[in-house]
Chains A and B, each alone.
Chain A
């Protein structure tokens, strides 16, 4: 059970506080309700590029990192389709430095041309490192536009084309800041060695004076129902064939989310998952195989991907994957395996809560989903899933017309 208290300021900023005196540190998480889904289709990657710029100095503070390091703090950030999330951990007596830094960059960024130019290069190198210089690295870039035709989830967070990054101008950066970075578009969580009263007073002091802003209203196109199976073949010089499959599912708040998450764990959670047991251990068709559900706020995806063993036929491997999914429908051993997967969720959740930073991030995200209290209900939500719900969800979502597939074929001659 994670105890927390909540308050809001007049400017719309929401704050959560979780006290944990077993640590000398405090974690501060600042979630902005903006992600790559909020971008213009001809200027993608902006939310993530912006995350980089947030470290290049703000209105009154020329450099974010140095003063934080000067008080023993450490920080980082990430951007995904839905959110941009900044976090730091700091020795508790210096938590005010965290407030000072985070409030100044919420107040206003130092929009510097030099910083923009450098960070464009850094992001392009990040793109090269993650997607181009890794075998199969581009599969995920190609999978999104296959599955989504209209919704902004069709492009990756880093951007659909690096020319978008190259062409970004300072004026667009400024506009983006004032349209999305605002106290009324943020959720702050403090977790660790800090009292509610101190958190409240420091928030008032540092964030109180920042004015509420006109946040751009979100009005995203709805992805139409997929009606036909989609297939893409990629041929490249990679060590072996690989298979990528995705199916559309509902939102993170959908009641089916927990059922589907359990299904992916049943399929691929740990060494005893069905896909692993059947296809890696018994039939030796894959060298590795994985399954997971995205935690997207708009309707997301279930992904299964695996690398094939030498000489294994792609169609044969795919049929074997479909057979394992179909095996969920005959209900064999399902109760036992569900109990196993539920136990695993319970212990993962306890382990995740041993870190103040995880607690701070999870609280912020749950609050964005509608209620920070969800953090204490998750284990229960998994416990409530019944075998009937699993069968029903398997039947409903794992159908060919809802699926997109990439056959990633190796052009290399087998030795």
Chain B
């Protein structure tokens, strides 16, 4: 018994990753539907996605308010009825408006599919945007806004987007108190009429797919037609602010927030898989350089991380943390030091192996189960990409060499070009 060898890990080679392909078809009116069969339970995740994000708004809050107001009353249901009926059927409704896209996601037991489809149609295509509900929502949102603006991390991220994308572009525009009084039924109807139309919709279905799923989708959504509305091209241009370093004073805080980063390439660029790997090494997992140094060595913070994100018109990379205020500048120095190390010293074999294998495991998790699959499918599809994007990433994870990581760090992490936003008490 005592001869058990506890020093060496028992390690076995990884299997090849297999990513389920989505089946696609069109409803009678041309709306594209993507189906992915997954999971063991008789449930469904149903997403309706529109190109109706912030990038399309000419007033701050318009995209998110239109989205939030979809379930606040329709031709056949009051807001209270809509919510009650959804709850009664045990369905969960998530609404979201992000930078590029907006829409709704429903999670439900398949036995309730018809009710859910009927309500989705009401929510998406027959909203009435009642003024009373709108006023009440805007007052609530202003309250939430006040609370959020107390948090250093929120102030920092808002400023970060403004610095990186410019205060005149919807990607960078900061919301102010004043914006909460600028919404009206007419504005919402106009935005809805332009962007929530069947010809701008896609439906993503994952979970247990039944034979009648496709005919039901056609029954509820296949007969909708779109009006021809002319939408003028946006004249907004992405242009980062000149000032690279900004400190926002926030009295009374015990921690300061840091955001460091810049705009960058997105998923459509051939360097993107490599940049993802570089980002993992820097701050993308628990064993990353930033975590090891700034949390596990120095104890400056509860957490630090970095990420690379894609947008339709751009992309951005960011390093984010909250540190004890006395350690603010030491933490920034250490972040710069870690970036410089990645630009000059090749990764050791061991560390590269850890990153390769950790990321391979992550990829298995990204395709495990109906919910993860839907998210992964969508995040390639919305850039016009398919699973070959993921297979390229898998291949890059397997084959990337230390030299290439140095080159990527030099190309994409020029310290002089990075924005630095800090928020906290002096």
Binding site for B on A (CB under 8 A): 20, 22-25, 59-61, 65-67, 69-75, 89-91, 93-94, 96-97, 100-101, 103-104, 107, 117-126, 128-129, 132-135, 205-206, 208-209, 237-240, 269-272, 277, 280-281, 284, 287-288, 307, 309-310, 336, 339-341, 343-344, 346-348, 350-351, 353-355
Contact = CB atoms under 8 A, between A and B. Distances in A.
B339 interface: no
B-side interface mostly: mixed
B144 A287 contact: yes
Contacts of B253: 133
Contacts of B27: none
A118 B143 contact: no
B200 to A, nearest CB: 26
Contacts of B42: 350
8 contacts: A25-B365, A118-B298, A119-B299, A122-B295, A123-B302, A271-B87, A310-B143, A336-B88
A209 to B, nearest CB: 5
A97 B11 contact: yes
A134 B151 contact: yes
In the complex, which of the residues B15, B89, B143 has the most CB atoms of chain A within 10 Å of its own CB atom? B143
A376 B109 CA distance: 18
A341 B84 CA distance: 10
A338 B302 CA distance: 42
B15 A239 contact: no
Contact of A354 (B353, B365, B371): B371
B255 A128 contact: yes
Size band of the interface chain B makes with A? 35 or more
Nearest to A236: B252
Interface string B78-107: 011001101111111000000000000001
Nearest to B286: A65
Interface string B284-311: 0111000000011111111000000000
Contacts of A124: 324
B159 interface: no
Given A94-B14, A240-B146, 10 more contacts: A60-B7, A97-B11, A122-B296, A125-B323, A128-B255, A269-B87, A271-B71, A347-B92, A347-B108, A350-B109
Given A74-B361, A351-B43, A97 B9 contact: yes
Contacts of B143: 239-240, 287-288, 307, 309-310
A94 B360 CA distance: 13
B136 A281 contact: yes
Contacts of A353: 41
Contacts of B296: 118, 122
B88 A74 contact: no
Given A135-B150, A346-B90, A351-B107, A125 B324 contact: yes
Contact of A129 (B255, B353, B358, B361): B255
Contact of B322 (A20, A129, A135, A307): A129
Nearest to B323: A125
In the complex, which of the residues A70, A117, A287 has the most CB atoms of chain B within 10 Å of its own CB atom? A70
B187 interface: no
A312 to B, nearest CB: 11
Given A132-B254, A239-B146, A309-B143, A71 B43 contact: no
A245 B11 CA distance: 52
B147 A307 contact: yes
